[in-house]
Structure 1
Amino acid sequence: MGSTRRGMLNVLIAAVLWGSSGVCAQYIMEHSQMTAQFLTMTRLIFAGLILLTLSFMHGDRVFSVLKSRQEALSLLLFSLVGALTVQLTFLMTIEKSNAATATVLQFLSPTLIVAWFSLVRKARPGILVLMAILTSLAGTFLLVTHGNPTSLSISPAALFWGIASAFAAAFYTTWPSALIGRYGTLPIVGWSMLLGGLFLLPFYASEGKNFSVDGHLLLAFFYLVVIGTSLTFSLYLKGAQMIGGPKASILSCAEPLSSALLSLLLLGITFTLPDWLGTLLILSSVVLISLDSRRRARTA
């Protein structure tokens, strides 16, 4: 198998596993009465430790970023506003709605990124980007109203956390590029997860005695942290390096689709026709942005 096919397979598997991790998180919260805050805290701490261990075994300079005060502060900002916020808002959206809706709303982040850069650079967006913005807005409208502007098909809280999740994902994607370029992806992401989880520890650690946990829930938590976070991240990173960001973005559209299908099969959650149409419109915006990136790369 060639490197391109191998890279595409890695990204596709990662996207499906990411979709399944949201469903897994929903299962844990529903069956243990665990709060989104407590699950965010434990998921980040364990995943951060795993990624830092992998990074250390890989020979990365794990502690170098902590030696510079300015870069340590930048890492702390990324940990709190990036890693912590993107995970917490995502799980809060699941808690207020379901995994599939949370995943689709978070996929608004690419549109937010291109719209923001167009404003900052005072550059008129191209036709593909304009189409992406319009399709993402139309998709969100269908998803949250089912076509009736006088009513919401999801709760206001779910809509708030879902939009917040998209903004957090946009920040998470764009902010740490300088740190990652200097120290590598695994150390920065590992530290950001660990620090984000430790930040919540004084506030939510005491909730640990309120949950009833059995073997199924422990297995689900293991899957969420090890498979759905650590392994998935590594697969996506390796695959994206092989095939490039635009192709990886298109293939990552399998994430919300897998989340919707698994929610239907495992949790009994059904998507109506407006839900599916809204999802496809939002995913098409990601494809349009990726096509615009490829076009710009060819003409550069």
Structure 2
Amino acid sequence: MRFIPSLVTTRFISRDSAALRGVLLIVLAALLWGTTGVTARYLFTETDLQPLTLALLRLCIAFPCFYLLMRRELRRLPADQQPRLSRSILLALLALGVFQGAYQGTYMLAVDLTSAGIATLIALCVSPVLVLLLAAPLLGEKPGWITVLALLGALTGTLLLVAGDLEVSGQLRLTGILVALLAALIYAGFTLTSRFAAGGAPVFTTAFICFLTGALVLLPVVWLQGGFAGLGQLGVTGWLLVVYIGLVPTCLGYLCFFTGMKTTSATTSSIIMTLEPMFVALLAWLWLGEWLGTLGLIGTAVLVVSVLLATRQKAG
């Protein structure tokens, strides 16, 4: 007797296949995003490229790609579903762009002053905890015990990372740590602001306005500090790596993430995204020889657990 799958069975298989594809796409996005800090660190070590200049170049390369994705996105929407950006939504999107430009600049600067692994771990793992902490007073809520545990975990993990870095490098790179914490705070502001713009515009319309605004914010800063000097000596390899950061982890990474989100829950995707800082730490060790040390590895684990706690609190 041949087994003929029923319609219900076929639907379950199709649903499971779509869910698995979504998870894999988000994992790929985390891996691609994880290559940003490692590639940036290599550029800062091997060339005279300045951190804010790289941040600007990344945004300038990415926003035309997001424009094309936005056009495709809008063409697929029915006429009655075309977005109408109100003044409040547009202001929120412009604010997101300011946060984006500030985050890119501080993150790249933190990578230059510390290491790819430490800068990414602090910026990405401390940020969700700060979101919980800041959202409580803004929404008139009292922080729950999970929020307190996540905050203590983030502080402990950061201190362990600093101790591990001191153990390995023999120096206290305090300025870089503080800049990474500033990047985490800015990203928390970005996350909180995005809640006001949620549902107000399609994702790639949001990305285009955000990255274009971020580039316009960084442009005068880079120009005033003379950040364009020496770009002619960047070399073919250097330019290829810059273009790689702008296209692959940025545009392709966002495309994979948003495509995967269509069949993946927000909680699951948040948990998967904790892989990004671990990918960075692994790639930094394999490519750049950056070692976090025993205390740093323990701090990494504590930070990841803190993010998972923050994710659970958000889901609750």
Q: TM-score, normalised by structure 1?
A: 0.88
Alignment match of 2:206 (pick from 176, 179, 188): 188
1:120 & 1:128 partners in 2: Cα distance?
18
Q: Which residue of 2 aligns with 1:145?
A: 163
Distance 1:127 1:204, change over 3 A: closer
Deviations 1:105-152 (A, max 9, x none): 01201101111222334434333333222211110111123499xxx9
Name which one, 1 or 2, has greater alpha-carbon Rg.
Answer: 2
Q: Kindly indicate whether the alpha-carbon contact (under 8 Å) linking 2:131 and 2:188 is maintained by their aligned counterparts in 1.
A: yes
Does residue 225 of structure 1 match 2:239?
no
Give 1:90 shift: 0.6
Deviations 1:273-299 (A, max 9, x none): 1111111101111112223344x2xxx
Higher mean C-alpha displacement, 54-63 vs 110-119: 54-63
User: What letter corresponds to residue 244 of structure 2 in structure 1?
Assistant: Y
Aligned CA-pair RMSD = 2.3
Higher mean C-alpha displacement, 122-131 vs 86-95: 122-131
Distance 1:135 1:54, change over 3 A: same
Q: Which residue of 2 aligns with 1:49?
A: 64
User: What letter corresponds to residue 204 of structure 2 in structure 1?
Assistant: L
Distance 1:154 1:250, change over 3 A: farther
1:56 & 1:178 partners in 2: Cα distance?
23
1:146 & 1:27 partners in 2: Cα distance?
21
1:88 & 1:265 partners in 2: Cα distance?
25
1:122 & 1:174 partners in 2: Cα distance?
14
Alignment match of 2:74 (pick from 59, 73, 83): 59
> Counterparts of 1:166-205 in structure 2 under 5 Å?
166-205=184-223
User: What letter corresponds to residue 219 of structure 1 in structure 2?
Assistant: L
Give 1:96 shift: 0.5
Q: Kindly indicate whether the alpha-carbon contact (under 8 Å) linking 2:73 and 2:204 is maintained by their aligned counterparts in 1.
A: no
> Counterparts of 1:153-164 in structure 2 under 5 Å?
154-164=172-182
Give 1:63 shift: 9.4
1:204 & 1:259 partners in 2: Cα distance?
26
Deviations 1:55-98 (A, max 9, x none): 11222699964xx5554433322211x11111111101001111
User: What letter corresponds to residue 113 of structure 1 in structure 2?
Assistant: V
> Counterparts of 1:230-241 in structure 2 under 5 Å?
230-241=251-262
Q: Kindly indicate whether the alpha-carbon contact (under 8 Å) linking 1:90 and 1:102 is maintained by their aligned counterparts in 2.
A: yes
Give 1:34 shift: 0.7
What secondary structure sits across from 1:278 in the alignment? helix
What secondary structure sits across from 2:258 in the alignment? helix
Does residue 266 of structure 1 match 2:287?
yes
What secondary structure sits across from 2:199 in the alignment? helix
Alignment match of 2:39 (pick from 14, 19, 24): 24
Q: Which residue of 1 aligns with 2:3?
A: none
Give 1:228 shift: 1.0
What secondary structure sits across from 2:64 in the alignment? helix
2:91 & 2:297 partners in 1: Cα distance?
42
Does residue 102 of structure 1 match 2:122?
no
Q: Which residue of 2 aligns with 1:208?
A: 228
Deviations 1:182-230 (A, max 9, x none): 2112111211111211232234245334132222212211221111111
Q: Kindly indicate whether the alpha-carbon contact (under 8 Å) linking 1:96 and 1:155 is maintained by their aligned counterparts in 2.
A: yes
Gaps of 5+ in 2: 1-15
Does residue 286 of structure 1 match 2:307?
yes
- Matched-pair identity in %: 24
Gaps of 5+ in 1: none
Higher mean C-alpha displacement, 97-106 vs 232-241: 232-241
Q: Which residue of 1 aligns with 2:133?
A: 115
Give 1:164 shift: 0.6
Distance 1:135 1:153, change over 3 A: farther
Distance 1:292 1:204, change over 3 A: closer
2:44 & 2:103 partners in 1: Cα distance?
18
1:174 & 1:237 partners in 2: Cα distance?
19
1:125 & 1:4 partners in 2: Cα distance?
33
Deviations 1:258-286 (A, max 9, x none): 11111111111111011111111011111
Q: TM-score, normalised by structure 2?
A: 0.84
1:69 & 1:121 partners in 2: Cα distance?
23
